[in-house]
Structure 1
């Protein structure tokens, strides 16, 4: 049985920026809600999931802020037009049958990692493009990414081809390069290719630091010596927390679409195509008149 975990933060922003302008007749922004619905409908078609949850951020863990107070401080406030649609994203997900979860004070990445850990031998798929979550592919998890040809499920070979290191080494690579989107810089002048080369040779970020006096190109030797504290900080920042209490048990994440709710919601949002499709699903769910009087 597959358990599909959707990175709600990633898909909210992806949907919002993918469709620049979309409003209903009342002038309310609906672009993020439309894109979110389209993404979840496509996932259902692509993956045929049995269980699933859309995981939203609930804040930033105190431990990460203590390690690096400027963590994510560079991020702009959520655009007002997207902020207004966040409740709609929950409605969309729930109408399509997905459990919606978040944990106060915790990031979605860690909640997703905790679900994957708890699922153990189950077939887990994570829908995201977040580099921090690529490490999960080392534990049997597949990373779902739609593309022009359909979709891809990234496992260890695909992650290694993309990043230059196996999934379990991605955190080591990020310790060296940092992550500008999360506002923690890495070693000056070190990009993914150089970092991947070093990790391949020395296995870990700590191993790279230990080899600072022999590293090539030589110009990086003094920079590495001066960057040891930053690298060790980064390695702590990218470590996923995998033992969080689950906001909903896996058994309660059964996907159960509600066509009636879909029709009502999509009509209100004025998504005509989605409304027609939901009406068709509703009609197929309703018992035929003759069936109402047939013996059970």
Structure 2
């Protein structure tokens, strides 16, 4: 999840209608993990694993994306789902640590299932899920059938989305990852895809964070914000021990750069600092323009989800009704301006 900048931000409550007519880039991987960790087998005798179809194939990711994506479309939002590409080698330590924690949880989950300790198994279920390449391909195939634009980033999804936003290709970036701001996204939206749902008994509301406001309110330049994030800790470096957001903010205001702070405080300079800075300040993106949205292929969607994965008529019908309400549904040989 990267660096937590919540203490520096002033979020503005927003509604989905505030983004009517706007193109919003969505960090697909974080969203996928929300779905597969929350839509799981529960109840007596359930092991807490992902929901599956009659063939034992995971479907939580498809259910989640179908529901949330069509809600966005119905609200007048033009989403662009951005998927992670190949991770930078500086992220490998973070990924290895995550895998180690998952492996430990899997061992405990296996023991709980063997002992028929369903309470423990369900608690551990969210820690053992994976969003596999096959699941990514299925998600993108479903989005294609919905006529919803989806792209693969060269590296980090939120990084590519942020650059696209800075260039004016999209109006905002929807992500829970505060690193989105370190990548230079002018507008970040948290909780956009979970707006109106409940979490721990509380209603979730979307929030807009404007990068220019954050910089102005904290007396920082963008370059200083990146240095602050690196000191606190990101996916590419664990940070400088003893420096959190509040201390880091005070130090960066006083000394200006990580180099000067390390000299003044006798701290070790982070290794490969210039590379880490470049990941945030000059994140790679594809040179190809973002495609236009298309029409939803009802027949294809039904074949994939109803015939292929046992989706109920109620679930598929709800999604199709949203697409129809937005003028984005194609049945049979019907065509529209979206097809040209």
Asked whether 1:107 is paired with 2:160, we answer no
Number of residue-to-residue matches in the alignment: 260
Map of 2:22 onto structure 1: 2
What residue number does 1:291 align with?
none
1:154 aligns to 2:195 (yes or no): no
Native 8 Å contact 1:173 1:196 kept in 2? yes
Q: 1:30 aligns with which of 59, 63, 76?
A: 59
Which of 141, 147, 153 is 2:187 aligned to?
Answer: 141
C-alpha distance in 2 between matches for 1:189 and 1:109: 27
Hey, what does 2:82 align to over in structure 1?
55
Under a length normalisation based on structure 2, what TM-score does the superposition of the two structures give?
0.63
Q: Deviations over 1:218-255 (max 9, x none)?
A: xxx23x2xx22448357526524345333x413x2335
Residues 1-43 of structure 1, C-alpha deviation per residue, up to 9 Å, x if partnerless? 6221111221122221122331112221111222222332333
Q: Are 1:249 and 2:289 an aligned pair?
A: yes
Q: C-alpha separation between the residues in 2 aligned to 1:281 and 1:156?
A: 32
- 1:166 Cα shift? 6.0
Q: Which residue of 2 aligns with 1:190?
A: 243
Cα deviation for residue 152 of structure 1 reads 2.0
Query: What is the alpha-carbon distance in structure 2 between the residues aligned to residue 3 and residue 173 of structure 1?
Result: 30
Which deviates more, 199-208 or 13-22? 199-208
* 1:86 CA drift (Å): 2.1
1:83-107 Cα deviation digits (max 9, x unpaired): 1422221123223322221155x33
CA gap of 1:41–1:154, structure 2 versus 1, over 3 A, is farther
Q: Distance in 1 between matches of 2:311 and 2:205?
A: 23
Structure 2 CA distance for partners of 1:257 and 1:245, relative to 1, 3 Å: same
For 1:218, the equivalent position in structure 2 comes to none
| Equivalences for residues 190-269 of structure 1 within 5 A | 190-209=243-262, 212=264, 221-222=265-266, 224=267, 227-230=268-271, 232=273, 235-236=276-277, 238-242=279-283, 244-246=285-287, 248-250=288-290, 252-254=291-293, 256-267=295-306, 268-269=308-309
The unaligned stretches of length 5 or more in structure 2 are 1-20, 42-50, 103-127, 196-202, 332-340
Residue 58 of structure 1 deviates from its aligned partner by 1.8
Q: Distance in 1 between matches of 2:303 and 2:293?
A: 22
RMSD: 3.6
**What is the alpha-carbon distance in structure 2 between the residues aligned to residue 111 and residue 157 of structure 1?**
19
TM-score, length-normalised on structure 1? 0.71
SS, match of residue 91 in structure 1: helix
